Amino acid sequence: MTESRPGFVVVLCSFLALTGCATAEVLLPHSSVAPPGVDFSGTWQINERESADQQSINRAVTQTDGVKNSSTGGQSRQSNARQARSSRNRGALVDVFLRTGRTLQITQTPYGFFVSVDRSVVEEFRFGESRMISVGEIEVQRASGWDGASYVVETLDKNGNKMIQRFWLSEDENVLHREITFRGRGDESATVVQFFGRETKP
Complete domains list, the chain, with CATH: 27-66+76-198 (2.40.128.20)
| Cα–Cα distances in angstroms (integers) from residue 154 to residues 131, 145, 187, in the given order | 11, 9, 15
| pLDDT classification of 100: cutoffs 50, 70, 90 | very high
Q: Which of the two residues, 88 and 40, has the higher pLDDT score?
A: 40
Contact 55, 186 (CB under 8 A): no
Q: Where residue 24 falls among pLDDT bands split at 50, 70, 90?
A: confident
Tell me: pLDDT of 113 over 70.
Answer: yes
Residue 135 has pLDDT above 80, yes or no: yes
Cβ atoms 44, 200 nearer than 8 A = no
What pLDDT is stored for residue 29 in this prediction? 87
Count Cβ atoms within 10 A of the Cβ of residue 107 and give its class: 0-12 exposed, 13-18 middle, 19 or more buried. middle
Q: Which of 50-59, 82-91, 125-134 has the lowest mean pLDDT?
A: 82-91
Q: How many CB atoms lie within 10 A of CB 140?
A: 22
**pLDDT > 80? residue 5:** no
pTM score of the predicted model: 0.77
| C-alpha to C-alpha distance for 73 and 82, rounded to whole angstroms | 14
Region 182-196: mean pLDDT is 95
61-79: pLDDT as tens digits = 999 986 644 333 444 433 4
- Res. 176: pLDDT tops 60: yes
Q: Residue 180 in contact with residue 98, Cβ under 8 Å?
A: yes
- Collapsed DSSP state (helix, strand, coil) of residue 200: coil
Whole-number percent of the chain with pLDDT over 70: 75
CA diameter of the chain: 89
The H-or-E segment that residue 201 falls in is none
Q: By three-state DSSP, how is residue 147 classified?
A: strand
Report whether 148 contacts 35 (CB < 8 A). yes
Q: What is the pLDDT of residue 200?
A: 82
Average pLDDT, whole number, for the chain?
83
